[in-house]
Amino acid sequence: MINSTTYNYLNSQETPFYYYDLELLNSTLKSIKEEAAQYNYHVHYAIKANANPRILSLIQTFGLGADCVSGNEIKRALENDFPANKIVYAGVGKSDKEIEIALDAHIFCFNCESIPEIEVIDEIAKSKNKIANIALRINPNVNANTHHYITTGIAENKFGINPWEFEEILQLLENSENINLIGLHFHIGSQIVDLSVFKSLCLRINEIQDWFLDHQIIVDHINVGGGFGINYHKPDEEPIPDFKNYFALFNEFLSLKANQELHFELGRSIVGQCGSLISRVLYVKNGINTNFTILDAGMTELLRPALYQAYHKIENLSSKDLPENYDVVGPICESSDCFGKAVSLPKTKRNDLIAIRSTGAYGEVMASNYNLRLIAKSFFSYDIKK
Ligand code: LLP
């Protein structure tokens, strides 16, 4: 929902572009901070969701850590003032160069995903005369009930270490002089809206902790990853996810051992609702079975519908006419370049301003320059003169 000042501002910019409501981001961060503080939980922001520097610098002021998945994300986090001792680094394929960047920056923890990775980190740390803090990323085999492309914690996924490897890992750690085990890490998938999935994760973590306890190991922290979903259908009614119930669930079902910290890595739930992709209607075209609204934004600016058949709410900001049904498509030469079929919109015409909502997470970061398109700019609510 936007007022006329915002509309005029947006309408005066060259489209397409990403628009971020920083007031909403601010309120979302306040809510997380308040709810997490009740249990002294530590929240890291998953930079992969949105690495825009303006977004990062606002998030950083709330004291969140950073969850990174590449050497460049670590650099971006440091450039935007996330303290190195609050940076965690996950990923199944960390290159030697990236491991060096992380060691040189003295990050808090590597979330390790395999035995050979631990061996390589130990070797590189030894050559630098450093100790690497690590957490084991464990594949808990819990089904996240989400799109199969964004589920990560079941046996068939490439992510994490499997329980049958634990004995071998403990032996390896005994002989790895430059590795210090400080945590257990889990992340089972993204856009999880069924909270009972997180309950299953907690119960599974309790079992896994018992195994480690039987082997005289209590780590300093448990990291339960991210994955908390947002309501793509109701961005105005539910702009801020229910963090109260989310954190309360972990408090109820996860058995932490004495002095153990609980860490989270939230991406989408923090930034998802604050972003919109703003685009203009180029043409309205009558097809055989349907009418097309052809936008100047495409899968190059927002890949999610083409890649995951993801739903994003589409609004015509310029018209209050009676609604008609359109297939809303982009200009890219791919049939999957479609934002929605039979979308009911106030009658569209050339140059109408169209908002594609809830694009703050995995929108701008997944942009490409396919068809040699330019990467779209971003604009921010804080810059609108009220
Ligand atoms: N931690 C790890 C280890 C992750 O792999 C991810 C996301 C997160 C945290 C943050 O998850 P979130 O809270 O944002 O769900 N491109 C896809 C989503 C891919 C998620 C990848 N990993 C999409 O557009 O839906």
Length of the chain: 386
The count of other CB atoms within 10 Å of the CB of residue 135 is: 25
- pLDDT value of residue 141: 87
Q: Which amino acid makes up residue 240?
A: I
Ligand 1 pocket, 357 CB below 6 A? Answer: no
Whole-number Å distance between alpha carbons of 174 and 155: 27
Those residues whose C-beta lies under 8 Å from the C-beta of residue 327, and which sit 6 or more positions away, are: 287, 290, 291, 292, 293, 338, 340, 341, 342, 343
> pLDDT truncated to tens, each residue of the chain (386 aa)?
689 999 999 999 999 999 999 999 999 999 999 999 999 999 999 999 999 999 999 999 999 999 999 999 999 999 999 999 999 999 999 999 999 999 999 999 999 999 999 999 999 999 999 999 999 999 998 887 777 766 666 667 788 899 999 999 999 999 999 999 999 999 999 999 999 999 999 999 999 999 999 999 999 999 999 999 999 999 999 999 999 999 999 999 999 998 999 999 999 999 999 999 999 999 999 988 899 999 999 999 999 999 999 999 999 999 999 999 999 999 999 999 999 999 999 999 999 999 999 999 999 999 999 999 999 999 999 999 76
Ligand 1 pocket, 67 CB below 6 A? Answer: yes
Ligand 1 pocket, 137 CB below 6 A? Answer: no
Using the mean position of ligand 1's atoms as its centre, give its distance from the Cα of residue 48 in Å: 7
Query: Residues comprising the binding site for substrate?
Result: 268, 304, 308, 334, 362
Note if the bond before 241 is cis, omega within 30 degrees: no
The three-point CA angle 153-48-131 to 5° equals 75
Strand 42-46 relative to strand 291-295: parallel, antiparallel, unpaired? unpaired
Ligand 1 pocket, 190 CB below 6 A? Answer: yes
- Spell out the domains of the chain, with CATH numbers in brackets: 4-13+273-383 (2.40.37.10), 22-272 (3.20.20.10)
Whole-number Å distance between alpha carbons of 123 and 181: 15
- pLDDT value of residue 289: 86
The count of other CB atoms within 10 Å of the CB of residue 150 is: 18
This model of the complex carries an ipTM of: 0.99
pTM (predicted TM-score)? 0.97
Q: Residue 223: in which H helix or E strand, if any? A: strand 221-223
Is 338 noted as a catalytic residue in this protein? no
Which atom of ligand 1 lies closest to the CA of 189?
15
Residue in the block written with tokens 């915002």? 6
